[in-house]
A and B are shown apart, each in its own frame.
Chain A
Amino acid sequence: DVKVTQSSRYLVKRTGEKVFLECVQDMDHENMFWYRQDPGLGLRLIYFSYDVKMKEKGDIPEGYSVSREKKERFSLILESASTNQTSMYLCASRVSTDTQYFGPGTRLTVL
């Protein structure tokens, strides 16, 4: 069965901290994505990756970076967390032009 896992379901950090959100998929998918979801704004694409060591900016990349050193793992990094980055973060993966499989999400609170 398809599986996308995220390192934490809930995370609380302080302003200015460096935050790592990890995502792992076991389906050998080439494409992986990071979204954030906020009430009234829906899902917004932060970054995506077509392959190992490749990354593309999505709609809202400011304040974020990503790393993809292995095919199965895609990390989202908040270099210096701010309160406006409090959100639900969702990772997804897929094979080329096919459905996206989402992880359970990480609810991040920045105090």
Chain B
Amino acid sequence: SQKIEQNSEALNIQEGKTATLTCNYTNYSPAYLQWYRQDPGRGPVFLLLIRENEKEKRKERLKVTFDTTLKQSLFHITASQPADSATYLCASDNYGQNFVFGPGTRLSVLP
């Protein structure tokens, strides 16, 4: 069955550094991947979407890549701040046919 893996359950980095989170998918080819941020006790909030024909997408300090050969998406936060501490979820669907979320990576940015 379709599956999304996020290879780190938790990631700690120092303030100012770049955080890199990984999302790998297996057994299918998503038309696009999405990244969400979730704070404790709250619903996920959409951050970025990248389509299969796009290599890279940027939004302010955020950057997402999509490598269909590696079946992987990387999510980068540059110049990280303590306020970036949250759980980040990778998600995909294939034009509405499949709805799959990864387990999330809990990022902690240390001052």
Binding site for B on A (CB under 8 A): 4, 31, 33, 35, 40-45, 48, 50, 58, 90, 92, 96-97, 99-105, 107
Contact = CB atoms under 8 A, between A and B. Distances in A.
B103 A41 contact: yes
B46 A43 contact: no
Contacts of B102: 42
A105 B103 contact: no
B45 interface: yes
Nearest to B4: A42
Interface residues of B, number: 21
B28 interface: no
A101 B44 CA distance: 8
Given A42-B89, A42-B104, A99-B49, A105 B99 contact: no
B11 interface: no
Contact of A101 (B31, B46, B91, B99): B46
A43 B89 contact: yes
Interface centre among A31, A35, A102 (most CB of B within 10 A): A102
B101 A102 contact: no
B41 A105 contact: yes
A96 B94 CA distance: 11
B111 interface: no
Interface string B87-101: 001010101100101
A96 B96 CA distance: 7
A100 B34 CA distance: 9
B61 interface: no
Contact of A102 (B31, B44, B49, B95): B44
Contact of A105 (B34, B42, B49, B96): B42
A42 B101 contact: yes
Contacts of B93: 97
A72 B88 CA distance: 28
Counting from the closest, the 9 A-B pairs by CB-CB distance are A102-B43, A42-B103, A43-B101, A99-B46, A45-B99, A102-B44, A105-B43, A90-B43, A42-B101
